[in-house]
Structure 1
Amino acid sequence: MRAFVLLCLLLPAFGQYEEMWGDKDYLWDTPGFTTTKPKHKACLYEKESCGCCLMKKQTHRMEAFFNLTHREMKKDLMLTKMYIDDMRASRSAFSFALDKNDSTECLGPFSDDAGIVFRHEFLNLGNNYNPMTGIFVAPRAGVYSFSYTISSDMKRAACAHLQVNGEIVSEIHGQDGQDSVDSDSVVKAIKLKAEDRVDVILPKGCIICSDKKFSNTFTGFLLYATV
């Protein structure tokens, strides 16, 4: 009896399935009602079996409700997993310096522009920066932050360019002969497309010097992805 009362109280919670389990399935006193009562369908033909029929009806509703809930939860779980996998795949961050040297070593000056290859790794999440070429390749469209620092301690101007797909987007020009160390930094946010290439260029006639202090660095990371 308690189970019957509980099921009756649950009726409003499963009202959305009324159309699935209409009273037309229960044939008491309907036109053409027959007294033939198959034992395996007693709930359909015997009015005295009202309690049994209601319990069966509520059981059907509960089964449909929980099946739907299970499907929705499974769908949400799959979507959540897709979002997490997408977030993991889109992570991208790197930070490199010129090779660490016990003594000062310089790069340049050259008669033409040359790419600067930062080989000493601090971080390369996603492996989108290539320490053999000095080029970062965007794994996906988005807004990225890049920073680079260059230094020279030979009383010559330290200068460098940041370029995207061969086009200069930022420049550093040090002041020649102002002090014993010439150093400068730039931070820039850039919107990129997937497969865009970003690197730092040493212009002709310029020089940078490295030592154990890691005074020349190149860093970048994805701020947020775009469509």
Structure 2
Amino acid sequence: MKTMLALKMVLLLCVGASLAHELITPEILKSIEERLRITEATLNELKRENEALRMSAQASEFKLESLQEVNKAKKVAFSAGLLSTGSQQFGPFSTQENLVYKKIFINTGNAYDSNTGIFTAPVNGAYFFRFYVHSHPDKQMAVSLFKNSERQCSVFSLKPLTNSNASNGVILTLEKGDRVYTQLWADSWVYDDENSFTSFSGFLLFTF
């Protein structure tokens, strides 16, 4: 009984295959091939569009990161006193010496280095700088502000009868990497204590 059933199924499959073969004409086969070709072309086009979207997304992400970095760089401001603690007279020295301001009030953007006393511009722009200096009677006090190795402005007091205070300020156009710092002249003195009489400050006005 089972054998007869199996034979009937085989005969039906053979008949079905024969009919299917007769039904698939050259025209139908050509139509199927054309549809397959169109489908393949559509898939390739979708792949190209997907790759273009991926590249566009990467470019947008990179641009966003760049804008975030620029915006972060725009937040630049520092202010520091010469001494972090105690009191001290600086000088005189036989040569000009950088003043290194240790008492940090603010250092947004970390462009000022309290180990060297040097501010390094993190971005192209216009910056404002001001420095204050204090000295005691009968002492020569002279300090200059430098951009890289070029003197920009100075303060000077020659052996005053009482304590002397002086300040100066300037707006500078800086390129990324330019350095700004103050130097004590040779044979000059400055003084500072917990009141921060001697200080150095600066901030970014705008970028360009």
Moved more, 155-164 or 170-179: 170-179
1:207 to 177, 180, 189: 189
Q: Counterpart in 1 of 2:175?
A: 193
1:119 aligns with 2:87: no
Q: Which residue of structure 1 lines up, in the alignment, with residue 161 of structure 2?
A: 178
Query: Partner of 2:139: helix, strand, or coil?
Result: coil
- Structure 2 match to 1:155: 138
Tell me, yes or no, if the aligned pair for 2:73 and 2:123 is still in contact at 8 Å.
Answer: no
Give the superposition deviation at 1:79. 7.0
Write the distance in 2 (CA, Å) between the matches of 1:211 and 1:101: 7
Kindly provide the amino acid, as one letter, of the partner of residue 196 in structure 2. Answer: F
Q: Deviations over 1:89-119 (max 9, x none)?
A: 32111000011444x4100010100000001
Cα 1:132–1:77 change in 2 (3 A) is closer
Deviation at 1:82, TM superposition (A): 5.6
Unaligned runs of 5+ in 2: 1-58
What root-mean-square deviation, in Å, do the aligned CA atoms of Structure 1 and Structure 2 show?
2.1
Aligned residue in 1 for 2:199: 217
Structure 1: where are the runs of 5+ without partners? 1-74
For these two proteins, the number of residue pairs brought into alignment is 150
Residues 117-140 of structure 1 show CA distances to partners (whole Å, capped at 9, x for unaligned) of 001100000111000000000001
TM-score, structure 1 as length reference: 0.61
Structure 2 counterpart SS, 1:174: strand
2:94–2:187 Cα contact (<8 Å) kept: yes
Deviation at 1:172, TM superposition (A): 0.7
Identity between Structure 1 and Structure 2 (%): 27
Identify the structure with the greater strand proportion: 2
Of 77, 87, 100, the match for 1:93:
77
1:153: Cα distance to partner? 1.9
CA distance in 2, matches of 1:173, 1:150: 9
What's the CA shift for 1:81?
A: 7.5
One-letter code of the match for 2:151? I
| Distance in 2 between residues matched to 1:140 and 1:84, nearest whole Å | 13
Task: Determine the C-alpha separation between the residues in 1 that align with 2:111 and 2:61.
Answer: 30
Q: Distance in 2 between matches of 1:121 and 1:222?
A: 17
* Change in 2 beyond 3 A, CA 1:85/1:112: closer
TM-score, structure 2 as length reference: 0.66
Task: From the CA coordinates, give the structure whose radius of gyration is larger.
Answer: 2
- For 1:171 and 1:86, how far apart are their aligned partners in 2? 32
CA contact (8 A) 2:79 2:202 kept: yes
Report the residue type matching 2:160 in the other structure. Answer: G
Number of the residue aligned with 1:144: 127
Contact preservation (8 Å) 2:74, 2:206: no
Q: Contact 2:126–2:174 (CA<8 Å) still a contact in 1?
A: yes
Q: What is the SS of the residue equivalent to 1:110?
A: coil
Alpha-carbon shift at residue 144 of structure 1 (Å): 0.1
Aligned to 1:164: 147
1:18 aligned residue:
none
Instruction: State the distance in 1 between where 2:65 and 2:183 align.
Output: 40
**Preserved contact between residue 162 and residue 168 of structure 1 (Cα < 8 Å):** yes
1:178 positional shift: 3.2
